[in-house]
């Protein structure tokens, strides 16, 4: 396995690559990636860009609805 030495000040440690297997929450396909330890991925590389774009679109829609309600003098609307 590939190892990486991480050094912060006088402290150092060796971090090894691990193989993680998961099911993409977007396309439902089983995936296997070799990566350094960290949070488990939710989406495969192929779906990541599409999912993030959709999340941004929905976030912007909610922001516009809140802004429109504030401009009209209403209270903020419920979740869209």
Q: Would 35 be classed as within a structural domain?
A: yes
Range of the domain at 61: 3-71
Predicted TM-score (pTM) of this structure: 0.61
Task: Report pLDDT digits (tens) over 9-53.
Answer: 888 888 888 999 999 999 999 999 998 889 999 999 999 999 999
Answer yes or no: is 60 within a domain: yes
pLDDT at 63 over 90: yes
Tally of domains within the chain = 1
Is residue 51 assigned to a domain?
yes
Please state, as a whole number, how many other Cβ atoms lie within 10 Å of the Cβ of residue 46.
Answer: 12
Can you tell me the mean pLDDT for 60-75?
A: 88
Query: What's the distance, CA 37 to chain centroid?
Result: 15
Q: Is residue 77 part of a domain?
A: no
């Amino acid at each position: 396995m590939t190892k990486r030495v991480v050094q912060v000040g006088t402290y150092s440690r060796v971090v090894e690559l691990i193989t993680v297997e998961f099911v993409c929450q977007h396309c439902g396909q089983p995936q296997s990636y070799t990566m350094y330890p960290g949070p488990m991925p939710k989406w495969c590389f192929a779906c990541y860009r599409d999912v993030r774009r959709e999340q941004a679109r929905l976030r912007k829609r909610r922001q516009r609805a809140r802004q429109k309600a504030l401009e009209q003098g209403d209270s903020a609307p419920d979740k869209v």
